[in-house]
Amino acid sequence: MHEAMGCLQAAGHLLENYSSGDEPDERLARIERASGLVDASMTVLRSLFGEGASHG
């Protein structure tokens, strides 16, 4: 669970530092990195819930 929260916090930090003055390529790269971190957190959560269901 901590890993998922860490990924979401990192994604939040990336997006908080988003600036309209950034170059378009930099903005896109920042959004793609944040999206990847959100996907990673979802993978972790799915894994945790899947494990919980199999042990229940």
Confidence at residue 11, expressed as pLDDT on a 0 to 100 scale: 95
Confidence at residue 55, expressed as pLDDT on a 0 to 100 scale: 47
The pLDDT averaged over each successive group of 10 residues in the chain (56 residues) is: 93 86 90 96 92 52
Secondary structure E strands in 1-56 = none
Confidence at residue 9, expressed as pLDDT on a 0 to 100 scale: 96
Which pTM value belongs to this model?
0.77
Q: What is the Cα–Cα distance from 53 to 35, expressed in whole angstroms? A: 27
Q: What is the Cα–Cα distance from 54 to 56, expressed in whole angstroms? A: 6
The answer to whether the beta carbons of residues 18 and 30 sit under 8 Å apart is yes
